[in-house]
Amino acid sequence: MIPAETLIAADAAGPILKLEQPISFWGGIDPRTGRIADPGHPAHGRTIAGTVLALRQTRGSSSSSAVMLELMRGGLAPAALILAEVDAILSLGVVVGREMGYSPLPVLRLDAVAFATLPDGAQARIVPGGGIEIGPA
Catalytically active residues, by annotation: 61
User: For the chain, where are the E strands, in sequence order?
Assistant: 2-3, 5-8, 12-19, 29-30, 35-36, 52-55, 80-83, 107-109, 123-127, 131-134
Distance from C-alpha of 134 to C-alpha of 23, rounded to nearest angstrom:
24
Type of residue found at 16: I
5 CB-near residues (< 8 Å, 6+ apart): 108, 109, 110, 130
User: Which one-letter DSSP state was computed for residue 56?
Assistant: S
